[in-house]
Amino acid sequence: MGVRSRTASGIAALALAAGLLAVPSPANAAAGCYGSGNPIMLSCNGREPTSYGCDADAVTLVEVDYWGTVALRYSRACHAAWARWTNHSPSGVVATVRIEGSANTYETHTAGYGYEVKWTRMVSFSQYVRACLLKKAPTGDIYKECTPYR
């Protein structure tokens, strides 16, 4: 093996190692969005929890049973919260899942599938937040069940 091929092999190995080190892990991805008070990082408000890796360290702060389970989820790494609803029934439920904050509110609509899981976009945890499910009755009345504010 000549000097030229050893040098090329060494450069290729270094480039490969540098590329492997540059791949962001979920923890690094989560660090890319943080509470809105940080001017350097992106606010998590309105962002998808799974796209930013915020679901990796998420915990359920509180949940209520209402046509399934309505949970208030929180990520410490992202300093953000979102609502998650889980349908435990084979019957579909058409409803609205909502995260309500003192400054921001986001919602998503269920598709009406059995065993469906839906979540909202995130809000910064520097505000009071709660998770809700809104269900429209055949009479047109809207029924709403929420977790306590945190």
> Mean pLDDT across the stretch 47-76?
95
pLDDT at 24 over 90: no
Confidence of residue 148 (pLDDT cuts 50, 70, 90): very high
State the chain's mean pLDDT as an integer.
81
Q: Which residues contact 82 (CB under 8 A, 6 or more apart)?
A: 49, 73, 99, 106, 119, 120, 121, 122, 123, 131
Element (H, E) at 133: strand 129-136
Nearest alpha-carbon partner for 103 in 124, 134, 77: 124
More confident residue, 29 or 84: 84
Tokens of 35: 């509470």
pLDDT score for 34: 75
What is the C-alpha separation between 53 and 56, in angstroms, rounded?
Answer: 6
Alpha-helix residue ranges (DSSP H) falling in 37-107: none
Structural domains of the chain, ranges and CATH numbers in brackets: 26-146 (2.60.40)
- Token look-up 């904050």 returns 101
User: Which of 7-21, 56-70, 122-136 is least confident?
Assistant: 7-21
Q: State the Cα torsion 126-130-131-136 to the nearest 10°.
A: -130
pLDDT score for 35: 56
Confidence of residue 69 (pLDDT cuts 50, 70, 90): very high
Query: Which class for 133: exposed (0-12), middle (13-18), buried (19 or more C-beta within 10 A)?
Result: buried
As a whole-number percent, the residues of the chain with pLDDT over 90 amount to 57
Confidence of residue 123 (pLDDT cuts 50, 70, 90): very high
DSSP β-bridge partners for residue 65: 69
pLDDT score for 70: 97
What distance lies between CA 8 and its chain's CA centroid? 44
The amino acid present at 84, given as its one-letter code, is: R
pTM for the whole thing? 0.75
pLDDT score for 29: 42
More confident residue, 13 or 119: 119
